[in-house]
Amino acid sequence: MGVQNFIAVCEPGYKVDAVCSYWARIFLLPKGIISRVDAVCRNYLWSRTDDFHRIPAVAWDTCCLPKDRGGLGILHCHLWNLAVIGKFSWWIAQKKDNLWVKWVHHIYMKQSDWWSYHPSINSSWTWRQICKARDALCSGFSLNGWLNGDYSTHGVYIWLIREHVTVNWMSLVWNRLCLPKVNFICWLYVLNRFMTKERLVRYGVISSYLCDLCGTAQETHSHLFFNCSYSQRCFLLLKQWLAIDWNGDLTMWILSWRCRSLLRKKVTMAALATLIYNIWQNRNTARHEGLVQHLAPVLRWIKASLKGRFLQVKESTRHSSSWIDNLDLA
Ligand SMILES: [Zn+2]
């Protein structure tokens, strides 16, 4: 398969993640192809087209982290390819009984120890890449005892992204009671990556900071979600509906809230995430169309969205809770 063909199947419309996962298992992918695959995936994520030339809200390396480490769980093509190539190292070190390993030992290794072997500059590109992958994975082989059992590409991939610590907000962002678009906006919220006016002014895109929802203050992340009079009225409606209250940081409060009913906590988190989504959408409508949405439809939309998700994921039938039975979802 030529480079052009590979790039052709990676164009938008194909399941690029699956394509990358499949071909990276078979071929050693050159850096140029991996960069192009990443660019196609990145452009599709932020603009649904291949034509995206702005700075993405979140770095691609962060998007490729697992969800419990703050990412979207998208496959990191380079690290996946490295993990796959590592299997060749495992075969060579194990002196696996296959023709390719015998050939490698005969042509390149010539009785050398695999872990201290250096390829000559005349060696093929593929062989040098295999040796480079060995160097990158060397500490993993010695620390994790990969030579003592079967080689797990997935296990090695997870080890390669292990240095990123787990996040405590995964349950807030990736709640099954939220629509996927709400999950995504909530993810941007906890990362503080919205393109607020404060950011746009800093990048030189616009010159006015003024919040379009209240028209009285500069639009920063903390103003939009905590100090804006419009957002505060929205949160007050939600607090009254769900009979909850908090002071200070919303994320800290909901994650540390000791609620006896797991379902109640899940519903509350979903409602808060959906409100954050609504505030951001209403901010965009106010900015681009000059219309500020009334509060009643916001609460109605949150209730309808939660009710719809309840029916879809059948959460209500798996849990019994008088609290949810009494909750006004109409
Ligand atoms: Zn405001």
Note the pLDDT tens digit of each residue in 91-149: 998 888 889 899 988 988 888 889 999 998 888 888 898 999 999 998 888 888 888 88
48 CA to centre of ligand 1 in angstroms: 30
Residue 227 confidence (pLDDT): 93
Last residue of a domain, one of 160, 192, 210: 160
Whole-angstrom distance, CA of residue 265 vs CA of residue 159 = 33
The count of residues in the chain is: 330
Does residue 67 belong to any structural domain of this protein? no
216 lies in the same domain as 101? no
pTM above 0.85, yes or no: no
205 CA to centre of ligand 1 in angstroms: 20
Q: Show the domain range for 35.
A: 3-60
Of 11-15, 163-167, 222-226, 263-267, where does mean pLDDT reach its minimum? 11-15
Higher pLDDT, 252 or 14: 252
Kindly list the distances between the CA atom of residue 259 and the CA atoms of 255, 290, 309, 319, in Å, as whole numbers in the listed order.
10, 40, 21, 15
Whole-angstrom distance, CA of residue 129 vs CA of residue 111 = 20
Residue 6 confidence (pLDDT): 41
Whole-angstrom distance, CA of residue 69 vs CA of residue 71 = 6
44 lies in the same domain as 141? no
Of 12-16, 25-29, 56-60, 101-105, where does mean pLDDT reach its minimum? 12-16
Residue 328 structure tokens: 């006004």
182 lies in the same domain as 229? yes
217 CA to centre of ligand 1 in angstroms: 6
Residues 6+ apart with CB under 8 A from 79: 64, 157, 160, 161
226 CA to centre of ligand 1 in angstroms: 9
Reported as a pLDDT band with limits 50, 70 and 90, residue 315 is low
194 lies in the same domain as 281? yes
Give yes or no for residue 62 having a pLDDT over 70.
yes
Residue 7 confidence (pLDDT): 41
Give yes or no for residue 186 having a pLDDT over 90.
yes
DSSP 115: G
Across 171-179, average pLDDT: 93
Residue 278 confidence (pLDDT): 96
Last residue of a domain, one of 114, 132, 160: 160
Higher pLDDT, 99 or 19: 99
Total count of domains within the chain: 3
72 CA to centre of ligand 1 in angstroms: 29
Does residue 194 belong to any structural domain of this protein? yes
Of 10-24, 141-155, 228-242, 282-296, where does mean pLDDT reach its minimum? 10-24
100 CA to centre of ligand 1 in angstroms: 66
176 CA to centre of ligand 1 in angstroms: 30
222 CA to centre of ligand 1 in angstroms: 10
Does residue 41 belong to any structural domain of this protein? yes
**pLDDT averaged over every residue in the chain:** 85
Does residue 42 belong to any structural domain of this protein? yes
Looking at this protein, which amino acid is placed at residue 99?
L
212 CA to centre of ligand 1 in angstroms: 6
Give yes or no for residue 35 having a pLDDT over 70.
yes
242 CA to centre of ligand 1 in angstroms: 24
235 CA to centre of ligand 1 in angstroms: 13
Give yes or no for residue 189 having a pLDDT over 90.
yes
273 CA to centre of ligand 1 in angstroms: 19
Residue 4 confidence (pLDDT): 44
